Amino acid sequence: QKEVEQDPGPLSVPEGAIVSLNCTYSNSAFQYFMWYRQYSRKGPELLMYTYSSGNKEDGRFTAQVDKSSKYISLFIRDSQPSDSATYLCAMGVWYSGANSKLTFGKGITLSVRP
């Protein structure tokens, strides 16, 4: 079993739809959770991060973490064509002081149709 599993894609939705992206993980040592967004021909960029179980909102985006069930989700409300990108979940562990190790999901490609 991989440490991080991400729902496969691709995913295509109409503009204005609510999008739910999900990841599960097996390593209970993960301490922080992130979502990265990667546009075509670009590097991933951090979208949201959280350390604890529960919901965190940022505009149209909500990150949800359930440590007891070992899953995280990203919800996108009122999706826009500009949200079309690949979304990667990532989970991290602190080790040896200030160093951290991030493990990424494989990513899901989202297309929002106008």
Partner 1 sequence: DSGVTQTPKHLITATGQRVTLRCSPRSGDLSVYWYQQSLDQGLQFLIQYYNGEERAKGNILERFSAQQFPDLHSELNLSSLELGDSALYFCASSARALLAGGPTGELFFGEGSRLTVL
The contact set with partner 1 (CB under 8 A) reads 6, 32, 34, 41-46, 49, 88, 92, 94-107
Nearer Cβ to partner 1 (79/87): 87
Distance from C-alpha of 96 to C-alpha of 44, rounded to nearest angstrom:
25
Whether the CB-CB separation of 11 and 109 falls below 8 Å is answered with yes
Tell me the C-alpha to C-alpha distance, in Å, between residue 90 and each of 12, 15, 17, 110: 22, 26, 24, 17
Cβ 11 to partner 1, closest distance in Å? 16
Closer Cβ to partner 1, 18 or 46, answer by number: 46
Closest distance to partner 1 from the beta carbon of 38 (Å): 8
Residue corresponding to tokens 């999008």? 19
The least distance separating partner 1 from the CB of residue 90, rounded to whole angstroms, comes to 8
